[in-house]
Structure 1
Amino acid sequence: MTLWRPTGPIELGLVRDSGWRRWPPRLPDQPIFYPVLNEDYAIKIARDWNVPASGAGYVTRFEVDAVFAARYPVRQVGGDTILELWVPAEELEEFNDHIVGTIDVVHEFKSATAG
């Protein structure tokens, strides 16, 4: 199953530190890890939310074992294509164990003032 994750520079640095194979643990105020099922939605979040918040936004793409991923609900959080896979934070390590291959950066957005 192909998933996308919009992210900012701090989270991306932690993914890089993992050898591009794992997502970092969620912060206490982040009970859900939510990769998205649509590249266009990921682009919108990275460009419109991450860039203003941190000066840069990235879209990552990765594969996860579809049989394993089926245990998590897909939530529609907007229009028909605004879909997220909701993984409880306490299950993220097990989810990471089912990533196939590496987490790849497929788009990068920076603010006009970012260096």
Structure 2
Amino acid sequence: MIEASGMRAFPPRLPEQPIFYPVLSEDYAVKIARDWNVPASGHGYVVRFAIARSFISRYQIQEAGGRDHLEYWIPGEQLAELNAAIVGLIELVRTFP
């Protein structure tokens, strides 16, 4: 569960989650949380965070099913590097029960 006070890092990926997919727009994140995650698990969260350009510039922006669905594909084994490149806290923006 994500606390309202913010986090400094994302937890390790589960074996069935080999890729971490940070998305580029809040609207797309809301769609994922509300329309996909809630039916699948009963809850969804939208978070916001800043990342050092020196880290994220190594990855290309991917279009996932439409020009409004832009995301990065970060291999799970590189999540520790991503966490180290987070600037500030991970902010909870929206929660869906």
The two structures share one fold, judged by TM-score above 0.5: yes
Cα offsets for 1:19-60 (capped at 9, x unmatched): 601111111122211110111000001000111122221100
1:77 deviates by: 0.6
Gaps of 5+ in 1: 1-12, 111-115
Match among 6, 21, 26 for residue 13 of structure 2? 26
Cα offsets for 1:91-114 (capped at 9, x unmatched): 11011000000011111112xxxx
1:73 deviates by: 2.1
The answer to whether 1:55 aligns with 2:38 is: no
Gaps of 5+ in 2: none
More strand by proportion, 1 or 2?
1
In structure 1, distance between residues paired with 2:27 and 2:60 = 20
Equivalent runs, 1:1-115 vs 2, <5 Å: 13=1, 16=3, 20-110=7-97
In structure 2, distance between residues paired with 1:38 and 1:54 = 22
TM-score of the superposed pair, with normalisation by structure 1: 0.77
TM-score of the superposed pair, with normalisation by structure 2: 0.90
Alignment size in residue pairs: 95
SS at match of 2:62: strand
Point out which structure has higher relative CO (alpha carbons under 8 A, 6+ apart).
Answer: 2
Moved over 4 A (4+): none
